[in-house]
Amino acid sequence: MLVDTHAHIDFPRFDDDRDKVIKRAKENNLEYIINVGADEASSQRSVELAQHHDMIYAVVGVHPHEAKSVTEETYSRLKEWAAEDKVVAIGETGLDYHYDNSPRQVQQQVFRRHIRLAKEVDLPLVIHSREAEDQTMELLKEEEAEEVGGIIHCFPGDQKMANQALDLNFYIAVGGILTFNNSYQLQRVVKQIPLDRLLLETDAPYLTPEPNRGKRNEPAYIKYVADKLAQILPHSTEKIAAVTTENAKEAFSIA
């Protein structure tokens, strides 16, 4: 069995065939899908999906792109959703200095509040970091995020970040980028990460793995990431599936 630890199947790109996407996930040996909120609306949709599908769990939070839209009411709603049985983490939260869709200072403030909320409700964090690795890790340390740990989503292949994340009780999640021809650095660094700290993800509908790159991504394609990781390490795909599935259950406290 496999677990997709990061997907967005609540997004409008799945509105026409969401049930079929979930069915294909089951047919391709997925045990669970972790559906991750990116703002208030998608967090609510994630909770609703989890309530209606046994295989789906939810993560609630606000992506750094949307940090400028966060209000005190946002945190109240996130805290309410966090009390739901099938909400397993807070996120995705972090820093994105590539697009700067929200001012950096605002991103940092919202990130700190997410970390504090995660500690308050005793849930792990799902971290988004793009072109902000050093500051992301610095804020996690300052806020003592190791108390709850979490997942570095869409790991960029930075060895220093990997070392710091492992020290802070975080897992490292790899996705479709691992299958790309130019992902040499990521592939090299992944070899240095203990297998019991690795997770698989799709980030669907984004970052579709080879051989389907260019198409809409979906959880069923997690098998291509598992195959590539097995090739790199090297281990059997069966071992990769078994260990990363156990890691996911541990990371998100899924019985």
**Which amino acid would we find at residue 195?**
L
**Which amino acid would we find at residue 45?**
R
Range of the domain at 35: 2-251
> In the block, which residue shows the tokens 């805290």?
79
Kindly report, residue by residue over 109-163, the tens digit of the pLDDT. 999 999 999 999 999 999 999 999 999 999 999 999 999 999 999 999 999 999 9
Kindly report, residue by residue over 153-205, the tens digit of the pLDDT. 999 999 999 999 999 999 999 999 999 999 999 999 999 999 999 999 999 99
CATH code (residue 60): 3.20.20.140
Helices 104-121, 133-142: crossing angle, 10 deg rounding: 40
Looking at residue 255, what is its pLDDT?
85
Residue 16 or residue 255, greater confidence: 16
Q: What's the pTM?
A: 0.98
Contacts 24+ apart (CB under 8 A), 97-103: 97/130, 97/131, 97/132, 97/135, 98/130, 98/131, 99/65, 99/130, 101/64, 101/65, 101/66, 101/68, 102/64, 102/65, 102/66, 102/67, 102/68, 103/67, 103/68
66 is in an annotated binding site: no
> In the block, which residue shows the tokens 């098998």?
223
92 is in an annotated binding site: yes
Structural domain count, the chain: 1
128 is in an annotated binding site: yes
> In the block, which residue shows the tokens 């297998």?
195
Whole-angstrom CA distances from 7 to 58, 119, 217, 239 are: 10, 23, 9, 23
153 is in an annotated binding site: yes
